[in-house]
Amino acid sequence: MRIGLLTEGGYPYATGEARLWCDRLVRGLPQHEFEIYALSRSAEQERARVPLPEHVTRVRTAPLWAPADDGRTYSRRERRRFADCFKELVRGICAGEPEPFAAGLYGLAGLAREQGGMYAALRSESAVRALESACRAPGAARTVQTAQVADLLEFVDELEVMLRPLSLDWYGEDTRGGGGLGGTDICHAAAGGVAALPGLLAKRFFGVPLLVTEYGVQLRAHYLSQLDTRGERETRPAVRALLTAFQLRLATEIYARADFLTPGNAHARRWQERCGASRERLRTVYPGMEADRFTTVGEAPDRGDPDTLVWVGRIEPAKDLIALLHAFAEVRRAEPGTRLRIFATAEAPGYLADCRSLAAQLFPDEAADSVTAGENPVTFEEIGGPDAPTTADAYGSGRVVVLSSVIEGFPVTLAEAMLCGRATVSTDVGAVCEVIGGTGLVVPPRNPRALAEACLSLLQDPERAQRLGAAARARALELFTVEQNVAAFEEIYLRLLAKGSVRPGGEIPFARPPEARVPGHWTSPTWAPAPEPSSEAAV
């Protein structure tokens, strides 16, 4: 099977979970041939490419960070065609109408496929005027109607970047032969949004089945990013409204056209259903984790320090460490010997400084006597040090693992703590309840007192904490391993291939035997006899 894997800002370049699950999937299916089509976000990202297995036969990268002006200018007829399609697209964006949006999107894709890139056309005065007319038209959203010239120019710049996949040469034959996405058996988008756009076009023009996996819903991530005003330049309201409308219309079109959708949890699934995805084409596939990394800690008789709470993750406002520190103050009043160890996988420097300052105020350094130096019961540490050389060691250092987030998708750190056999106390956000499944304690977010009471109930009852930890590890081994993740996608690939989307040329799935095209060096065997020269060649 030949699979085109579509990524954006992730595999095979970036680090983190987005890269890890793709790498585990590819390495877990060596019997299939993978082609990777990556949209990169920075030049630095492209320098850190991970080693790839032999059955990855092609890697093509399109930089979204670099200028895309190819010098192409359209003729008068082509400009008229562009104007008609662009008017439909922006009408769908501004008025929230799916039919004009889809017609305009595929019309622009057809033009780009035939005539080349649209860099100059999208930045032309006619495009800005068409966008302005759509913003002022009846039915447009109220915030969009307030857009000024500066807003229109900024949105057009952003739109040009998001529509670059329409102009890529990924879809048909290329100079190396073998075909692009149009020749694959399945397109698998590792995220929604712009990452899935090439797969949407491959399905539209070549009938290639499209599978979209979202472990973090791109539309939700966009909404959250608009709430973050800590950036260097705050986006104007009209521009935010236009960008959000585009992301919503694109997500709706992807969910409507994809052959199959695999959300990473029920929380993501609800987002997809509300945007129009049908339940018949949805199946939850949990992320796969390397359980072997946590076996030593998870099966060890030592359950960690009984007086220690552990927190692991990226230190940022969404994790609400401020509430955790206030909760720990309540815990210390009831159990003076308790410690809180905070292990940072990454950090927002300003927020980390605020947390350190609050910890110093709430917990002055304590000394056993007049000679010994004082210590703070709250420590901020990094994984990789002598006390916690691995992530598993960090989880294993305490009896209870805490998650205090106010915003969460799939809580990876929670699943890792479960694999380590640790009892957990978590806030009820995102997919936490789905992941825990009754093997841990869950409290409302932004409630330090409830968080403190749950932690105390486990610290004061070691047997209960041990039972919950054992149950949590059993649940994690059943649902959140690489093996179950790979097996689920293998089954979905076979189902999509057996279903067989209708190809424009009338090609029937399985019409060619597998021996017709064997990946690897056997494709052009050195032992094959040379073809005899034809009579025309002899002449």
Q: Give the residue with greater pLDDT, 453 vs 535.
A: 453
Judge whether residue 535 has pLDDT over 50: no
Query: How far is the C-alpha of 210 from the C-alpha of 212, rounded, in Å?
Result: 7
Query: How far is the C-alpha of 354 from the C-alpha of 64, rounded, in Å?
Result: 35
Q: What is the DSSP string of 473-502?
A: HHHHHHHSBHHHHHHHHHHHHHHHHHH-PP
In this structure, which CATH number among 3.40.50.720, 3.40.50.2000, 3.40.50.300, 3.10.20.600 belongs to the domain 291-365+373-480?
3.40.50.2000
**Taking the mean position of all CA atoms in its chain, how far away is CA 198?**
16
Single pTM value for the model:
0.84
Is 2-66+169-281 a CATH 3.60.20.30 domain? Answer: no
Number of residues assigned to the chain? 539
For the stretch 198-215, pLDDT in tens is 999 999 999 999 999 998
**Taking the mean position of all CA atoms in its chain, how far away is CA 417?**
21
pLDDT band at 452 (very low <50, low <70, confident <90, very high): very high
For the stretch 25-63, pLDDT in tens is 999 999 999 999 999 877 777 777 888 999 999 999 988
Inter-residue contact 94 to 245 (CB < 8 Å): yes
**Dihedral sign (CA 442, 447, 453, 456):** positive
Query: How far is the C-alpha of 404 from the C-alpha of 125, rounded, in Å?
Result: 50
**Dihedral sign (CA 507, 512, 518, 523):** negative
The DSSP bridge partners found for residue 30 are none
% helix, strand, coil for the chain, step of 5? 50, 15, 35
**Dihedral sign (CA 179, 185, 191, 196):** positive
Q: What angle do CA 434, 217, 100 make, to 5 degrees?
A: 140
Domains 2-66+169-281 and 291-365+373-480 share a fold: yes
Backbone angles phi, psi at 179, to 5 degrees: 75, 160
The pair of structure tokens assigned to 433 is 């309840």
For the stretch 94-131, pLDDT in tens is 999 999 999 999 999 999 988 888 888 988 999 999 99
The ranges assigned to domains in the chain are 2-66+169-281, 76-160, 291-365+373-480
For the stretch 345-373, pLDDT in tens is 888 889 999 999 999 999 987 655 555 55
Return the H-helix or E-strand segment holding 404: none
